[in-house]
Structure 1
């Protein structure tokens, strides 16, 4: 049930930073399909990138924002860059460039702002202590590395920029071998198509602001947490016996223990987020011969 916001028509032009990346390009495609005019900004060329430039290029950044209605900020250095790039570079890209971007957006009257963050910001809070961690927005983030620190700092910048803003903390959504992907989709991953749908919904519903987890769909409940840490296979057999059968049909191990479950209920209530490409979708796709 929606508890916030009212659905509105597309407003016009949307700027997507990181538009050549996996998440940014999916968001751009979804906004285009929903009737928006998309302008993409990225350091690398891509299908949806109209401006090839570094986000720290003041002129390019402001030109992209001019006459735009909405800003989608997906550009960032990510977890795989940790240890390969300096902490100073992380701060320059993930924090300083975000500060300049939202300042420009506020000055030019661009809004709302949609910021793409990560469930990684929960960091050390994801470590179980006798039971699986139920990860909703009430869980206090405990950053564990420079990536988590800078994404959380950027969240704070976006939230305090003076423009209506939504932050989506998205779950794991990069390509993996099918058995690994299947295991993660049980409790801590999301399909990038569902991420893109969430982005469109978050902007389309007026008056929605705040921070929301985007994951799932997952078959578990909060009361399952202790049992999931002890015998996840038994819980899964109760909650989703068809999924257990699908794993076994493919020779994939059913996990015996799960450390966390991501909860997207707040996003469902606020703007109607309803993911569809979860574990059952993957199992059907695998049965049809999909391998990527």
Structure 2
């Protein structure tokens, strides 16, 4: 049986990825500092014994464990470096010694940082946009991406859009341009874990209704664009007494992932509205 080591397996993203891998016939070796359904090794990746137990005998390592944006200001910068960069480097070294065939690193679209600030139009965010980290989280995730890209093991980095629970009106707006479903993140991770040749860095975001040509109007009159392009969505917002966004500052583009390994997100604005009540769109 194929064995996947999943770090951060008790977290939101790690749990979803482990469950999807299991459903696709993988044996899961979950690693986390906290217990969880998919966690068989409870421990800190800074401990060499934990790293060895995780990777030896594993075919693939999927590395989701990290300190995240909510920890900024609450956790010392040195701790951020130790967990997000130091532990990642040590894990990659151990994976090389263990003969792991493939590494998948779960990063974040947050690494684009200051590059996400619009000027005269919404920012079209594809992999050609140069990251400009704005805080210690962005800096350490980007540093870890570079470590992953430098190893001899074939590797893929997935920069995932926001995928945590939010109030329905906020979630619906974010699913127009900058959110992604957990099931789509998990499906992308399974695809690249099982792919024989793909390597590189890819955005993983939701299916959005806009194009690059919409970016000027989205910054200055997003509500008008939505009314014209998605009248059913505009009606659904009004029925729920949700305000249409007046401006959208960015749109994430997952086209490179679609072209490279067939990523096709299924969870979009229509699915969000269907589950929020007051009828279907």
User: Shorter-normalised TM-score: what interval?
Assistant: over 0.9
How far off is 1:238 after superposition?
2.5
Q: Which position in structure 2 is the counterpart of 1:283? A: 273
How far off is 1:239 after superposition?
2.3
Unaligned runs of 5+ in 1: 1-10
3-state secondary structure, aligned to 2:202: strand
* RMSD, aligned α-carbons: 1.1
- Give me the whole-angstrom Cα distance separating, in 1, the residues matched to 2:60 and 2:179: 27
Residue deviations 1:147-194, cap 9 Å, x none? 000000000000101110000000011111111111111100111111
Q: Which position in structure 2 is the counterpart of 1:196? A: 186
- Give me the whole-angstrom Cα distance separating, in 2, the residues matched to 1:239 and 1:17: 41
How far off is 1:111 after superposition?
2.2
3-state secondary structure, aligned to 2:203: strand
- Whether 1:228 aligns to 2:195 is no
Q: Which position in structure 2 is the counterpart of 1:46? A: 36
- Whether 1:101 aligns to 2:99 is no
Q: 1:183/1:69 Cα in 2 relative to 1: closer, same or farther (>3 Å)?
A: same
Unaligned runs of 5+ in 2: none
Structure 1-normalised TM-score?
Answer: 0.94
Are 2:239 and 2:278, in contact at CA under 8 Å, matched by a contact in 1? no
- Give me the whole-angstrom Cα distance separating, in 2, the residues matched to 1:197 and 1:245: 31
- Give me the whole-angstrom Cα distance separating, in 2, the residues matched to 1:116 and 1:213: 10
Q: 1:22/1:67 Cα in 2 relative to 1: closer, same or farther (>3 Å)?
A: same
Q: Which position in structure 1 is the counterpart of 2:73? A: 83
User: What is the aligned counterpart of 1:92 among 43, 57, 82?
Assistant: 82
The count of residues paired between Structure 1 and Structure 2 equals 279
How far off is 1:53 after superposition?
0.3
Structure 2-normalised TM-score?
Answer: 0.97
- Give me the whole-angstrom Cα distance separating, in 2, the residues matched to 1:102 and 1:201: 21
Are 2:17 and 2:189, in contact at CA under 8 Å, matched by a contact in 1? yes
How far off is 1:108 after superposition?
0.8
How far off is 1:288 after superposition?
7.3
Q: Which position in structure 1 is the counterpart of 2:113? A: 123
- Give me the whole-angstrom Cα distance separating, in 2, the residues matched to 1:38 and 1:239: 43
- Give me the whole-angstrom Cα distance separating, in 2, the residues matched to 1:239 and 1:33: 37
- Whether 1:164 aligns to 2:158 is no
Q: 1:288/1:16 Cα in 2 relative to 1: closer, same or farther (>3 Å)?
A: farther
- Give me the whole-angstrom Cα distance separating, in 2, the residues matched to 1:196 and 1:247: 28
User: What is the aligned counterpart of 1:213 among 191, 195, 203?
Assistant: 203
- Give me the whole-angstrom Cα distance separating, in 1, the residues matched to 2:148 and 2:83: 14
Q: Which position in structure 1 is the counterpart of 2:245? A: 255
